[in-house]
């Protein structure tokens, strides 16, 4: 069993608390992604699991084994870093074989494990090359292969795609997703990129300031954020947020929305795709009139940034056929069934029930 259980975990560097009481259960063979802004504690959390940092308080279990006081080698986990950390004087095959040779594994078994890992990662033709002869994506695959040969209890990834260009990031993301299915292994992946989180994870753990804000499946977090932080962090472009007071001043009366306790709402939120854009000024219920300040055409989608008096700038996602220009007066039609409401503590009213 490669399930990981974390209870009451704290980590401080001197007098500065970095991880502030984390409880988390990761199931065997699950792909979990830690996501959050820079400095939120997600990488420190991964290093605590790996044994590269010592916990100030709390416990970590791998299956039934308490690994809180175990060293990194004793935990049987494998970690892929942002930097490839390959030996430049060794070939691809030698880099992949190195941890097994250090462990004293027989040569024939080493060769077989390297061959099997190279086949999984499509590195067979590159085994005699040196790292300098490889692309960034190939180097990262070698680093992953070095972990696969160890047959670890779980794989830990610390922002492994950060050094790659956009095209390689997409390619490697697909390969890591396929690798998870092929190996059927427990994987924990750290990233600040919420697109990586949404496309890779079975479950996402959203961190902020050393605490977990919400845990859930990608679409659950997107459609039912527990608070304003998650609502604006998950999704690109991020959710539009409007102050309830500003909507009232703009003459908007929101009716038929999907949340309760609307009278407690301090902020309303709506995703860009749930705003309909109409040319001209059409005042009425659930409508806001503004001017196009900026538009972005991205091929499959267009994003219109509309400046609405008293409310602020709202972003609407439209098909690429939409024809509006900077300075045009437009009407934003709000679908009340898609609204989110947040109280003074920035917690979702829908989540509260």
What are 257's two structure tokens?
């929305």
**Residue 196 and residue 76 share a domain:** yes
**Residue 78 and residue 156 share a domain:** yes
pLDDT at residue 254, rounded to an integer: 61
In a domain, 260, yes or no: yes
**Residue 295 and residue 209 share a domain:** no
pLDDT at residue 320, rounded to an integer: 83
**Residue 197 and residue 93 share a domain:** yes
In a domain, 18, yes or no: yes
pLDDT at residue 63, rounded to an integer: 93
Please give the average pLDDT of every successive group of 10 residues along the chain, which has 353 residues: 92 95 96 95 96 96 95 93 88 93 91 93 93 90 92 93 84 90 94 91 97 96 95 92 83 59 83 91 83 89 92 92 88 87 90 50
**Residue 275 and residue 211 share a domain:** no
pLDDT at residue 259, rounded to an integer: 58
**Residue 290 and residue 249 share a domain:** yes
DSSP helix/strand/coil, 172: helix
pLDDT at residue 353, rounded to an integer: 46
pLDDT at residue 253, rounded to an integer: 65
pLDDT at residue 194, rounded to an integer: 85
Residue 272 near residue 315, CB atoms below 8 Å: yes
DSSP helix/strand/coil, 213: strand
Identify the CATH number of the domain in which residue 112 sits.
Answer: 3.40.50.300
What are 165's two structure tokens?
């260009």
- Concatenating the DSSP letter of every residue in 33-61 gives EEE-STTSSHHHHHHHHHTSS--SEEEEE
**Residue 200 and residue 271 share a domain:** no
Q: How many domains does the chain have?
A: 2
Q: 272, 260, 326, 323: which is closest to 295 by C-alpha?
A: 326
**Residue 348 and residue 250 share a domain:** yes
Q: Which of 179, 196, 223 is the last residue of a domain?
A: 223
pLDDT at residue 169, rounded to an integer: 86
Q: CA-CA distance, 210 to 205, in Å (whole number)?
A: 12
**Residue 213 and residue 140 share a domain:** yes
Q: CA-CA distance, 4 to 64, in Å (whole number)?
A: 9
Q: 273, 292, 293: which is closest to 333 by C-alpha?
A: 273
Full domain range(s) for residue 187: 4-223
pTM for the predicted model, two decimal places: 0.90
Identify the CATH number of the domain in which residue 283 sits.
Answer: 2.40.50.140
């Amino acid at each position: 069993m490669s399930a990981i259980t974390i209870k009451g975990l704290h980590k401080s560097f001197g007098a500065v608390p970095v991880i502030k009481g984390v409880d988390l259960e990761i199931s065997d063979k699950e792909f979990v992604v830690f996501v959050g802004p820079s400095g939120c504690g997600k990488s420190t959390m991964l290093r605590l699991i790996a044994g590269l940092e010592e916990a100030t308080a709390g416990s970590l279990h791998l299956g039934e084994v308490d690994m809180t006081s175990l060293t990194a080698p004793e935990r049987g986990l494998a970690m892929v870093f942002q930097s490839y950390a390959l030996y430049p004087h060794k070939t691809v095959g030698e880099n992949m074989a190195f941890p097994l040779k250090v462990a004293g594994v027989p040569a024939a078994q080493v060769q077989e494990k390297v061959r099997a890992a190279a086949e999984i990662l499509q590195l067979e033709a590159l085994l005699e090359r040196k790292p300098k002869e490889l692309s960034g994506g190939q180097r990262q695959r070698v680093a992953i292969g070095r972990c696969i040969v160890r047959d670890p209890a779980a794989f830990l990834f610390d922002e492994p795609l950060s050094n790659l260009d956009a095209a390689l990031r997409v390619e490697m993301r697909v390969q890591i997703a396929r690798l998870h299915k092929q190996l059927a292994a427990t994987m924990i992946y750290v990233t600040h990129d919420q697109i990586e989180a949404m496309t890779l994870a079975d479950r996402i753990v959203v961190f902020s300031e050393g605490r977990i804000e919400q845990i859930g499946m990608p679409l659950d977090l997107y459609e039912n954020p527990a608070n304003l932080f998650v609502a604006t962090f998950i999704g690109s472009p991020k959710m539009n947020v409007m102050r309830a007071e500003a909507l009232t001043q703009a003459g908007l009366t929101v009716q038929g929305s999907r949340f309760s306790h609307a009278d407690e709402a301090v902020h309303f939120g709506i995703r860009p795709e749930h705003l309909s854009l109409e040319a001209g000024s059409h005042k009425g219920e659930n409508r806001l009139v503004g001017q196009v300040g900026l538009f972005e055409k991205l091929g499959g989608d267009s994003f219109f940034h509309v400046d609405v008096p008293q409310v602020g700038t709202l972003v609407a996602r439209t098909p690429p056929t939409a024809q509006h220009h900077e300075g045009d007066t437009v009407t934003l039609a709000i679908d009340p069934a898609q609204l989110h409401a947040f109280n003074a503590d920035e917690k979702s009213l829908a989540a509260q029930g």
